[in-house]
Amino acid sequence: MNKKMIPSMDEWLKEAKAHESAEKIGMYLTHNGIVRKSAKAKVRFGEENTKNVTGMQFSYDQEKVDAVIHFAGLKAVGESVAKPLMYYQNNLISTLNLIELMEKYGCNNLVFSSSATVYGDPISVPIYETFDLKVTNPYGRTKLMLEDILRDYAKVNEGKNIALLRYFNPIGAHPSGLIGEDPNGIPNNLVPYITQTAIGKRKALGVFGNDYDTIDGTGVRDYVHVCDLAYGHVLALDKLFSDCGLVVYNLGTGNGYSVLQVHAAMEKACGFPIPYEIKERRPGDIATCYASCEKAYKELGFEAKYDIDAMCRDAWNWQKNNPNGFKK
Ligand code: UDP
């Protein structure tokens, strides 16, 4: 990532607006859904496995790297409980390899995808970055372990700038309808399950519990549009280039929506009813989770622009245009 490629907030918004018409953008998808923007920025794409140090080394040899954004990781809670070693292997080893390579090539700036999962069941909401960290499953443990590793690393290595970004519930899709969520198999997460029900691939959404202490008994989460989340990374990069050391930010909207509220917003986006049925609570779920985004606002200028209706509109637009996801 080259410093010169970072757009200003205005440029970003202008570009995002232009993207609303798919014809106007020079974007195309590679087979695995990675996006290359061929029109403006000169982005070189290389596909390497982060567990394969040699391949990554080759990528680094090609040009000077000012910063790394590390998104790669397994992320399904249930799968992590069933296959813990796979999670520890994949998430921990790949990140250690990456740090080692950054060290070798003199790259000091890292944005790391962490998660609200590191807060476990919080004592209150909104959740502040200063809250205690406690995790309840192997996936969450890999995120917390990696945060700890990065904290230890930054402590004894002056000049390392690391942003730990704790994502809340990313949903939605790129407004162009070209990039969206395409989970393998049965979706674990709420929004792809709803959109796959709406498109006719699933019979009905199962609502996991309606007896929580929330507005309508269903679980409340802080859903954030993927484009807002992406812009949070751009702002975090700017922060890193000011030599900030290690910093931690929540990325959400600061608002909580219940499962039934999201379901209703999706019905509005689709324009027809979407069947659902109430089921048992899902083990490990908590009632309510939403962020305080004050710190990200004050220190990064981060402010989510998309509301729940826009998130559902874009998620549905993606699903409608791509009923089989990236598979044709
Ligand atoms: N949820 C649901 N049915 C589903 C998937 C999720 O009712 O098929 C609920 C889940 O219990 C939680 C909310 O939707 O209250 C968000 O769940 P998701 O798995 O998307 O994200 P999480 O907050 O667990 O990371």
Instruction: Measure the CA–CA gap between 31 and 35, rounded to whole angstroms.
Output: 10
Q: What spacing in Å lies between the alpha carbon of 76 and ligand 1's midpoint?
A: 12
Q: What b/e string do you get for 50-80 counting C-beta neighbours within 10 Å, with b at 16 or more?
A: beebeebeeebeeeebbbbbbeebbbbbebb
User: Is the C-beta atom of 282 inside 6 A of ligand 1?
Assistant: yes
Instruction: Please indicate whether residue 25 or residue 152 has the higher confidence score (pLDDT).
Output: 152
| 214 close to ligand 1 (CB < 6 Angstrom) | no
Mean pLDDT of the 191-218 span:
98
**pLDDT single digits (tens) 106-159:** 999 999 999 999 999 999 999 999 999 999 899 999 999 999 999 999 999 999
Q: Is the CB of 276 under 6 A from ligand 1?
A: no
Among the residue ranges 27-31, 158-162, 220-224, the one predicted with the least confidence is 27-31
Predicted pLDDT of residue 176 = 86
pTM for this prediction: 0.88
- Strands of the sheet with 220-221, listed across from one edge: 257-258, 220-221, 288-289
Give residue 74's pLDDT: 93
State the closest ligand 1 atom to the C-alpha of 117, by its place in the atom list counted from 1: 25
Tens-place pLDDT, residues 59-80: 667 778 899 999 989 998 888 9
Mean pLDDT across the stretch 251-255? 98
Taking only the tens place, the pLDDT of each residue in 273-324 is 999 999 999 988 899 999 999 999 999 999 999 999 999 999 999 999 999 9
| Nearest CA-CA partner of 221 in 264, 265, 256 | 256
The pLDDT score that the predictor gives to residue 46 is: 72
Confidence of residue 47 (pLDDT cuts 50, 70, 90): confident
Distance from C-alpha of 102 to C-alpha of 89, rounded to nearest angstrom: 20
Query: Rounded to whole angstroms, how far apart are CA atoms 151 and 86?
Result: 24
Q: What is the pLDDT of residue 178?
A: 85
What is the C-alpha to C-alpha distance for residues 245 and 185, in angstroms, rounded to an integer?
Answer: 40
DSSP 64-124: ---EEEE------HHHHHH-HHHHIIIIIIHHHHHHHHHHHTT--EEEEEEEGGGG-S-SS
Note the pLDDT of residue 284. Answer: 81
Instruction: Reply yes or no on whether 139 is catalytic.
Output: yes
Contact 312, 269 (CB under 8 A): yes
Q: Which helix (H) or strand (E) holds 267?
A: helix 259-270
Q: How would you classify the pairing of strands 27-29 and 35-37?
A: antiparallel
User: Which residues, listed in sequence order, are joined to residue 218 by a DSSP beta bridge?
Assistant: none
Question: Is the shortest distance between the CB of 290 and ligand 1 below 6 Å?
Answer: no
Catalytic residue among 87, 139, 223, 306: 139
